[in-house]
Amino acid sequence: MSGSRKTRSVANAPDTALSSPSERILRDCHSLYVDQDKGLVKIASSLGLRLLPPRKKIIVMIMGNHSAGKSSFINWYVEEHIQKTGVAIETQGFTFITSGRKRESLTGNATLHLYPHFRPLLEFKGVTDYLCAEISTSKQKKFSLVTFVDTPGLVDGDMVYPFDVNSAITSFGEQADLIFVFFDPMGQALCKRTLNIVEKLSEKCGDKLRFYLSKADEAGRETDRQRVMMQIVQELCRRPGLNKCGFEMPTIYIPNPQKQSRCVNQIDEVCETIEKTINQAVQKTLDQLEKDCDLITSTISNKLAQDRSDSSIDTDMLHVISCLLRVLSALESPNLLAVHLYRDYILYFLHYKALLK
């Protein structure tokens, strides 16, 4: 036997894992913007324009009262125990869960460096101290194209948050592509803080909101679930911003082979919603790429036209000055009026050039 050993292949190795067409499109579009030598961001900057590179993944924010199953859903989707779960308020800050080449954790400013679109959060005092990112190598479902944002568990009463949690969640929601609102059937579904934030989000980005009755298998019998859902719908309808037709609230729970339930589980519909949003993000990214290219093209055309116009003005002014010089040289003794006229034209020419610059 030779002394060499066979090397074991690594599951989901980044170099060999096949990427989907959507993933390649989003990645390539992002590269077109951020290329150091000839990226669109650099070209736009040289023209006085500011472009933000498109994201390579969609952002899905999950909010709800504490113990609503937010972290459990993320762990189920990723198929890895990343977030702590339990009855206690485990998530007190904002956690980004995303895929990457190696498992690692980031905090504070490093997280914002990874997600520059969320830099407006810096205006909320104390938020950066409660920001972190968990990077996983999982390739399950569509995770390679998704970044989840796990938000603080919301409660009413005397609970004190180290930052303005209502405004921070609203700001996160405005940047997200999807907002999942989880209602817990075990007594906290009507948390006023949750409903207040949802109403605020509905005013600005209602099309992103999706409502779910989480942990539906723990709500008792079917009649109990229906009663809980009716209470939630009634409470939502009392608020003008949420009283809309076509309201849907699928029942979901984490599947457990050892615990059978007769409750209808629509958790696969959540996955379908995520996949649909990914497809829409691809189209939006391509549309934005076209708009940004048109903006750069039109800006260059306008600057070239302005340069040609400036060149024409320079030629005309120099012609006038040349004529004045010939007139002055023809005079045997230039009078004061002629000298002043020549000086005024020179000053006018220089002043006009300064305005153009």
Model pLDDT, residue 62: 93
Q: Nearest-5° angle of CA 298, CA 280, CA 165?
A: 95
The HSE-up count of residue 253 (CA atoms within 13 Å, CB side) is: 19
Model pLDDT, residue 7: 40
Strands 94-99 and 131-136: parallel
CATH of domain 55-265: 3.40.50.300
Starting from the edge strand earliest in sequence, which strands make up the sheet with 209-213, in order?
104-107, 131-136, 94-99, 146-150, 58-64, 178-183, 209-213
Cα–Cα distance for residue pair 337/5, rounded to 1 Å: 100
Cα–Cα distance for residue pair 118/133, rounded to 1 Å: 13
Model pLDDT, residue 269: 92
For residue 70, give both structure tokens.
């937010």
Cα–Cα distance for residue pair 251/257, rounded to 1 Å: 18
Cα–Cα distance for residue pair 87/71, rounded to 1 Å: 11
Per residue of the chain (357 residues), give pLDDT as tens: 444 444 434 444 444 345 778 888 888 888 888 888 778 888 888 888 888 888 888 999 998 887 788 888 999 998 888 777 654 555 578 888 988 888 888 887 777 777 777 777 777 777 778 888 888 888 888 898 999 999 888 876 667 777 888 888 888 888 899 999 988 877 555 677 888 888 888 888 888 999 898 888 777 777 877 888 888 777 777 777 676 766 788 888 888 877 777 778 888 999 999 999 999 999 998 898 888 888 888 888 887 787 777 666 556 556 655 565 555 555 555 555 554 454 455 545 555 555 555
Cα–Cα distance for residue pair 298/53, rounded to 1 Å: 19
Model pLDDT, residue 16: 39
What DSSP string describes 317-339? HHHHHHHHHHHHHHSSS--HHHH
